[in-house]
Amino acid sequence: LPTSNALMDITPRPPVVFTRGEGAYLWDSQGRRYLDFVQGWAVNALGHAPPVIAQALAEQAQALITPSPAYYNGPSLALANTLAQSSCFDRVFFTNSGAEAVEGAIKLARRYGEFHKDGAYEIITFDGAFHGRTLATMSASGKAAFAPLFEPKVPGFPKARLNDLESVEALIGARTIAIMLEPIQGEAGVWPATPTFLKELRQLTRQHGLLLIVDEIQTGIGRTGKLFDYEHATITPDIMALGKGIGGGVPLGALLATEAVSCFRHGDQGGTYNGNPLMCAVGKAVVDTVAAPAFLAHVTAKGETLETALNALAGKHALGATRGRGLLIALDLGREIAPAVVERALQNGLLINAPRADALRFMPALNVTPAEIEDGIALLDRVLSEL
Ligand SMILES: *Cc1c(COP(=O)(O)O)cnc(C)c1O
């Protein structure tokens, strides 16, 4: 469809060029409309082109785009304060992507190990985990397809099994400094860590003097019905990585840590665009909108609506079960038809994602309406009937 294409071919893309978005919908260059349950990959927390983001961008672009990360600016201070006040963390470092936030978390944990644990540097991570595509975050990931790539990997990321405390305990040694996990493994196919497992990890890390790092890039900023998913398990981690939803569609991430753990010395961490006012002004608008109790209650309610509808669909078409929390839900198809469903759905005007061949993942905008959920389910019902 594109008449010339100089883009590196890094992923299969359908022959469609998107030109416009509004709320739950995208339009392509032919004027066709799509109901979007991908939303930039769990990124557009408030849907496509929300007025609150357009306004924040326009106002900030006219006031100050970037002064230099070596100077203070208003929006980064305001957003950092909001995040600190609404979480168990005290300090924030802004990044331009999720991977960069995780990379920062790894560096901070290693620095903490240097200062407090005789140079301990190993971070226990999990089979199936996804933490990003820089060399260190690919090394920290437990995605099987990454294993043979870009050798040699960054060392120091032994892998345990999710929801298996003994597999974690077996890896703890003198060099261990932290345990890092996604509260729900998103890219692997929406596999939640149980609240019990998260509580046990917090206890275990305290017992051994280790840090607990949560990668909430996919689960954070209201996605699972709390501002941060760790709140469901009533734990307080030491470090958190944010990305995706915090920018509502613009490149923004954040590394958060408690005061005791915020041990970077001058020169350890930085970056030209980090904490630029343009992105931080958007982040502030997004977080202020999402953090309102009524907004979060709606996310929970709509997650239940979606899950109930998916279970009914599963019953009708003899599919498997749903899993996940809030508006991060997977439907187990019970057979490897997910890529075919995704392709057919696109042809029918519905965008969904298949994180694995036997499952669909739903990550609509957090302000999706019950009517839009109903429309999406009806489209999916038609696709499943056709297959
Ligand atoms: C998307 C994602 C990342 C990587 O974020 P980028 O912005 O793509 O670098 C890391 N961890 C998790 C859990 C993610 O979902």
Per-residue pLDDT tens digits for 27-73? 999 999 999 999 999 999 999 999 999 999 999 999 999 999 999 99
The residue whose CB lies within 8 Å of the most ligand 1 atoms, and thus the one to mutate among 213, 217, 224, is 217
pLDDT digits (tens, 9 = 90+) for 229-265: 999 999 999 999 999 999 999 999 999 999 999 999 9
User: Does the beta carbon of 215 sit less than 6 angstroms from any atom of ligand 1?
Assistant: yes
Res 161: pLDDT: 98
Res 4: pLDDT: 85
pLDDT digits (tens, 9 = 90+) for 61-93: 999 999 999 999 999 999 999 999 999 999 999
The residue whose CB lies within 8 Å of the most ligand 1 atoms, and thus the one to mutate among 131, 139, 239, is 131
CA 317 to centroid of ligand 1, rounded, Å: 32
Res 146: pLDDT: 97
Read off the pLDDT band of 3 (50, 70, 90). confident
pLDDT digits (tens, 9 = 90+) for 183-220: 999 999 999 999 999 999 999 999 999 999 999 999 99
CA 137 to centroid of ligand 1, rounded, Å: 9
The upper half-sphere exposure of residue 36, i.e. CA atoms within 13 Å in the direction of its Cβ, equals: 27
pLDDT digits (tens, 9 = 90+) for 303-329: 999 999 999 999 999 999 999 999 999
User: Does the beta carbon of 353 sit less than 6 angstroms from any atom of ligand 1?
Assistant: no
CA 22 to centroid of ligand 1, rounded, Å: 24
pLDDT for residue 1 is more than 70: no
User: Does the beta carbon of 247 sit less than 6 angstroms from any atom of ligand 1?
Assistant: no
C-alpha–C-alpha distance, residues 293 and 122, integer Å: 38
* Total residues belonging to the chain: 387
